[in-house]
Amino acid sequence: MEFWHDRVLVLDFGSQYTQLIARRVREAQVYSQILPYSTPLVTIQAYRPKGIILSGGPASVYERKAPLIPKQVLELGVPVLGICYGMQLITHVLDGEVARATRREYGRAELLIDDDSDLFKGVGEGGVTAVWMSHGDRIERLPRGFRSIAHTSNSPIAAMKSVGDGRRIYCLQFHPEVAHTVGGFRILQNFVHDICGCKPTWTMSSYVETAVAQIRDTVGTGKAICALSGGVDSSVAAALAHRAIGKQLTCVFIDNGLLRKGERERVKEAFAKQLDVNVRLVDASQSFLAALRGVTDP
C-alpha cells in the first residue's frame, strides 16, 4: 500500500461515537481510517499507522463473548489510545482488573488532572476540566507498568498511561471526541500530533486530489463501472471516479422495486444530466419482488 499522508487507525468496538472519533482526528488535519476490531494483525500492519485508537463500545470486557484484540496490537511500536471500552480492553488484555462500578457514571463529570505533561498538555484550568462519561465498568487495578494520570470522584483511574517500558499507551475513561468534553479536541490533537508525530497535512481537498490520482492510476486507459445507489457513499465514489476518468466510467443504477417514488428519475437527473455521467439504469424490480414474495419479516 502506498500512502501520501500519516494515518491513524480507529478500531471500532461498536461505539455510537466511532465516526465522530475519526472526524475529530481529520479535523486535526490527520487522516483517520475506521477498521473493525477483528481486522487481522497483518492488515493493520500493512496500513503502517502512526497511531491506533480503540473506540468505546457497549460490551463489558469480562463477558464471555466480549470483543477482544490480540496483545500484539499493543506491541506494534506505535502509540495507542484507548477510549472508554478501549481503556477497559487494554486493562483486561494486559492483566489489570475491570469490574462493574457501584455507581454508573453517565454525563458530565469533573476531571482532576494529575499529569499534564503530554496527553493533557494545555487542557483545563488549574488541573480541572469537564468531561463526558458513559460507562458502567471501571478500572479496579492498573495493568503492570501503568499509572493513573487523572481521576474523578467516581473513577480513581479516569485516565492512565504506560510508563518506563518504552510503550506509548494512553487510556481515557471519558469521551474526548464529543463536544461536551471541554478540551477534548486538544487531547486528541496532543495524541495525534505530539505523541504519534503525525504532521497536520491532511485536508478534504487533499484527499480528493489523492483519490482522483489513485483511481486514474488504477484504471489507466481501461474502463470502469461503479454501482450507484444515489446514497452518500456511492455518489461520492461516482463523483470521484468521474472526475478521474470521465467517459471511461459507467455507473450502474439498479431499480430493485423498493425505491422511493421518483428516486430512479432523480438519480438519473443528478448524474446523467447535471454531471454528464454515463448512467445505465437496470430495472430488476420483478426479480427482487419475486424473491421477496411471501416474506413478511425483514
Rg (CA), the chain: 23
Name the nearest CA neighbour of 153 among 122, 128, 184, 118.
Answer: 128
Establish whether 175 is a catalytic residue: yes
* Integer Cα distance of 258 and 291 in angstroms: 12
Q: What is the per-residue burial (b if ≥16 Cβ within 10 Å, else e) of 200-217?
A: eebeeeeeeeebbeebee
CA dist 128 and 49 (Å) reads 32
Q: Report the alpha-carbon distance of residue 185 to residue 189 in Å, rounded.
A: 6
Are the CB atoms for 9 and 1 separated by under 8 Å?
no
For position 273, what pLDDT does the model report? 85
CB 175 within 8 A of CB 132: yes
Q: What is the pLDDT of residue 298?
A: 67
Question: Residue 220: beta bridge partners?
Answer: none
Q: CA-CA distances (angstroms) from residue 23 to 10, 28, 273?
A: 11, 9, 32
Question: What is the value of pTM for the model shown?
Answer: 0.79
C-alpha 152/C-alpha 191 separation (Å) is 21
Q: CB-hemisphere CA count at 13 Å for 155? A: 36
What span, in angstroms and rounded, lies between the C-alpha atoms of 156 and 139?
8
> What pLDDT does 36 receive?
97
Exactly one of 105, 135, 177, 226 is catalytic; which is it? 177
Q: Which residues, including other chains, have CB under 8 Å from residue 217's CB and lie 6 or more apart?
A: none
pLDDT of residue 176: 97
Q: What is the pLDDT along the chain (298 residues), one digit of tens a residue?
A: 455 689 999 999 999 999 999 999 999 999 999 999 999 999 999 999 999 999 999 899 988 899 999 999 999 999 999 999 999 999 999 999 988 876 677 789 999 999 999 999 999 999 999 999 887 788 899 999 999 999 998 889 999 999 988 899 999 999 999 999 999 999 999 999 999 999 999 988 888 888 899 999 999 999 999 999 988 899 999 999 999 999 999 999 999 999 999 999 999 899 988 889 999 999 999 999 999 999 987 6
Q: Which domains does the chain have, with CATH numbers?
A: 7-195 (3.40.50.880), 204-291 (3.40.50.620)
Active-site annotation holds for 226? no
CA dist 227 and 234 (Å) reads 7
In sequence order, the 6+-apart residues with CB closer than 8 A to the CB of 281 are 253, 255, 264, 268
Give CA–CA dist 160/171, Å, rounded: 5
CA distance 78 to 147: 19
Query: Of 92, 135, 151, 175, which residue is the catalytic one?
Result: 175
In the residue annotation, 84 being an active-site residue is answered as: yes
